[in-house]
Amino acid sequence: MAAETVTYLEAIRQALWDEMEQDERVFMLGQDIGTYGGAFRVTAGFLDRFGPVRIIDTPISESAMIGCAIGAAMMGMLPVVEMQFIDFISCAFNQIINFAAPNHYRWGQTVPLVVRGPAGGNVHGSAYHSQNPESYFQHTPGLKILAPGTVADAYGLLRAAIRDPNPVLYFEHKYLYRRLKDELPAGDELVPIGKARLAREGRDLSVITYGAMLHVALEAAGRLEGDGIDLEVLDLRTLKPLDQEAILATVRKTNRVIVLTEEQITGSVAGEVAARIGQHAFEWLDGPVHRLCCPDTPVPYSPTLEEAYLPNVDKLVAKVRELSTY
Amino acid sequence: MAKLGKDWGPLHPKVETAERTEKLAKTDLPRERQLELYSYMKLNRMVEERLGNLYRQGKVVGGLYSSRGQEATSVGCAYALSPQDVMGPLIRNLGAMLVRGVKPREVMMQYMAKSDSPTGGKDGNTHFGDLKRGLVAPISMLGAVIPVMAGVALAGRMQGKDLVALTFIGDGGTSTGDFHEGLNLAAVLGVPFVLIAEHNGWAYSTPTSRQMRIKNIATRAAAYGIPGETVDGNDVLAVYEATKRAVERARAGGGPSLIESKTFRMKGHAEHDDAGYVPKEQFEEWRPKDPIDRFERHLLGSGLANDEDLKEIVARIDAQLNEEVDFALASPMPPPERAFEGVYGASEVKA
């Protein structure tokens, strides 16, 4: 009998549910997460089950929401803050990078905080409902950053995030919410933070990616099989701390690499991955490390513009072919 | 330049002072506890005088911040708290930290960046915390600690701890977004939280008139639907009694309060700043209202203490501070490799 499949969104909901069932220190702060169940219905049913003490609807005050969660976390609670769209995390930038992130380094007090929310484009959300803000935070010591691209990771990484003693930013890709379906892994094992996953083994060229772009890479790999090009796909899953060993291992194996991400290219996580490869695996390379990212523009609205803006299978296949003959 | 229009008001208007008399607020505090208040204020000032010496000797590696003239606010507020309460002091709340049990040597080592400082040299000045003593470390971005302390209060309520969270903000800090967001969130959630607005006339070189159009910060409480009160911030008894009322209200489930403590910053923003921008007459106006001198007059005038009692307190503090300074000076600088340690907290949070 086949196991039941769930969507990526349901996996997130299930992880929150299971952690709240298991540990009463876990509680949530967010906008419209209670009666309404969240803009994407991630917390539908939570208010009924866990009550208003643990499912807290807040004013439109991102900075205060996260500040409040920091205070509660220091006191031994395990708060999870939902950003209605992750774009709005910028309104709480100071609390995250100046309060939560350096707290343990500065005075030894852990801040077991999770901030989660829908990131990414391809749903015509335009400039303020499509962003990928990871690189703003990639720079900041003390944070952990997760970006699951599979149902299993959406579930297992979120549970790991809630149990981690550090401030964790969990960027879920809204394009995958209801499009991606898979079985939840049996058992209670967490997905380790800081470990990349080899999503596809291949010989010829490595695509290092995460989030929704993982599926672009896998689809491109299928299409390139006909050309006799065997792609390896590394799913980073954790963006901070980066799994440098896994990154260097795949480069040493295939000697060609494309870093595929949905960020604006300048100052991106992809840039950091490329820099590490250049610094630590230069002699293994048979060609330049290519970053296939978004251009340095805001996220445009119109489908024709957004298609031009985002990386996709066609763009990746073309770049792979080009780099394969370098 | 005329095209740019006229200025909208004098840059250095007179700082509005609270209605005040020499007489201090009524209190039921017995003699011993009033003497304790005096000791803490005196300790606050004398620690800062020692720090000033260390600064002039080049032992303080960063800036030095003084709360001279504001001791009654720090000490009076902290004194109104119970052991289970949690406080988030700012840079000018050394006195509040001393009341919570921080040792002078800890602060001295912080300023001198010593290995044995509470942060091991990783941070300076009053930027350290210890939840075992109910202390949350602030960050330099003003206002940020307000929502954080609202969260402390929220957690305390969830955990059934009967605690009240208290923090401070200056007149300048009330202009931040976090002041509004944090106080509003605290009010909406009804958490046991007290915010002390220290209205000391100046935010670095900017007078309060360039921070707000209102005369009393306490007016803002109405916008959040919470009680607001303005107190004479140079009367330690008034500060203590007002804070105690707010703390008791919070503990009883009455939600947050805003207390404005009107006082004056008798020095510059930091030790390097001679405060030349502050009109001399403002210092002259406030000098006779010095909170420690005034409390001394109260203690002597009401017969709660005589000159000998006060001299004995000062001598005791002086002797204690000799030891504290010696200890702090003897601590080595931290080993360089410590710079790379402790970015992350280690273990998993177990259920």
Query: Closest chain B residue to A61 measured between Cα atoms?
Result: B181
List B194's β-bridge partners, or say none.
B166, B257
Say if CB A137 and CB A240 are below 8 A apart.
Answer: yes
**What is the predicted ipTM?**
0.96
Beta-strand relationship, B257-262 and B193-199: parallel
Dihedral of CA A152/A154/A155/A159: which sign? positive
**What would you report as the CA-atom Rg of chain B, rounded to the nearest whole angstrom?**
20
Q: Is A216 on the interface with B (CB under 8 A)?
A: no
Give residue for tokens 């790379």.
Answer: B340
Task: Map residue B118 onto helix, strand or coil.
Answer: coil
Strands (E), chain A: 5-7, 26-30, 55-57, 78-82, 114-119, 144-146, 168-173, 181-183, 197-200, 205-209, 231-235, 238-240, 257-264, 290-294
Chosen for mutation from B87, B102, B154 (greatest number of chain A CBs closer than 10 Å) is B154
pLDDT of residue A185: 87
Q: Is B177 on the interface with A (CB under 8 A)?
A: yes
Report the alpha-carbon distance of residue B30 to residue B52 in Å, rounded.
33
**What is the block-wise mean pLDDT of chain A (326 residues), using blocks of 10 residues?**
84 98 98 97 98 98 98 98 98 98 97 98 96 97 98 98 98 98 88 98 98 98 96 98 98 98 98 98 98 98 98 98 94
Report the alpha-carbon distance of residue A82 to residue A75 in Å, rounded.
20
Based on the residue annotation, tell me whether A129 is a catalytic residue of this protein.
Answer: yes
In B72-91, the residues whose Cβ lies within 8 Å of chain A are 86
Over residues B39-55, the pLDDT tens digits come to 999 999 999 999 999 99
Nearest CB partner across the interface for A61, out of B185, B347, B349: B185
| Minimum distance, in Å, between the CA of residue A194 and any CA atom of chain B | 13
Residues across chain B: 351
| Minimum distance, in Å, between the CA of residue B7 and any CA atom of chain A | 32
Amino acid identity at B43: L
Query: Closest chain B residue to A92 measured between Cα atoms?
Result: B178
> Mean pLDDT in chain B?
94
Dihedral angle at the C-alpha atoms of A202, A207, A212, A218, nearest 10 degrees? Answer: -30
Q: Torsion-angle region of residue A222: left (phi > 0), alpha (psi -120 to 50) or beta?
A: alpha
In this structure, the number of other CB atoms found within 10 A of the CB of residue B36 comes to 16
Q: Is B43 on the interface with A (CB under 8 A)?
A: no
Q: Which of B144, B153, B216 is nearest to B188 (CA)?
A: B153
Query: Closest chain B residue to A141 measured between Cα atoms?
Result: B343
| Cross-chain residue pair A95–B177, CB shorter than 8 Å | no
Task: Report DSSP letters for B230-291, one per residue.
Answer: EEETT-HHHHHHHHHHHHHHHHTT---EEEEEE----S-SSTT---TTS-HHHHHHHGGG-H
Q: Which residues of B touch A108 (CB under 8 A)?
A: 119, 342
Say if CB A169 and CB A137 are below 8 A apart.
Answer: yes
Q: Torsion-angle region of residue A287: left (phi > 0), alpha (psi -120 to 50) or beta?
A: beta
| Cross-chain residue pair A104–B351, CB shorter than 8 Å | no
| Minimum distance, in Å, between the CA of residue B39 and any CA atom of chain A | 28
Over residues B145-203, the pLDDT tens digits come to 999 999 999 999 999 999 999 999 999 999 999 999 999 999 999 999 999 999 999 99
| Cross-chain residue pair B147–A67, CB shorter than 8 Å | yes
Q: Is A77 on the interface with B (CB under 8 A)?
A: yes
Give residue for tokens 């000490």.
Answer: B75
Report the alpha-carbon distance of residue B104 to residue B106 in Å, rounded.
5
| Cross-chain residue pair A112–B141, CB shorter than 8 Å | no
pLDDT of residue B17: 57
In this structure, the number of other CB atoms found within 10 A of the CB of residue B280 comes to 9
In this structure, the number of other CB atoms found within 10 A of the CB of residue B62 comes to 14
Q: Is B347 on the interface with A (CB under 8 A)?
A: yes
Beta-strand relationship, B86-88 and B206-207: unpaired
Q: Which residues of A touch B118 (CB under 8 A)?
A: 107
Say if CB B186 and CB A66 are below 8 A apart.
Answer: no
Query: Closest chain A residue to B124 measured between Cα atoms?
Result: A106
The helix (run of H) or strand (run of E) holding residue A273 is: helix A269-280
Which token pair is B171?
Answer: 């007149």
Q: Which residues of B touch A165 (CB under 8 A)?
A: 344-349
Over residues A78-110, the pLDDT tens digits come to 999 999 999 999 999 999 999 999 999 999 999
pLDDT of residue B346: 85
pLDDT of residue A160: 97
Q: Which residues of A touch B169 (CB under 8 A)?
A: none
* DSSP assigned state of A99: I
Nearest CB partner across the interface for B182, out of A67, A98, A105: A67
pLDDT of residue A230: 98
Preceding peptide of A241 cis, ω within 30° = yes
pLDDT of residue B73: 98
Q: What are phi and psi of B38, to 5 degrees?
A: -60, -45
- pLDDT-derived band at B323 (thresholds 50, 70, 90) equals very high
Amino acid identity at A280: H
Q: Is B102 on the interface with A (CB under 8 A)?
A: no
| Cross-chain residue pair A104–B155, CB shorter than 8 Å | no
Q: Is A297 on the interface with B (CB under 8 A)?
A: no
Task: Report DSSP letters for B313-325, one per residue.
Answer: HHHHHHHHHHHHH
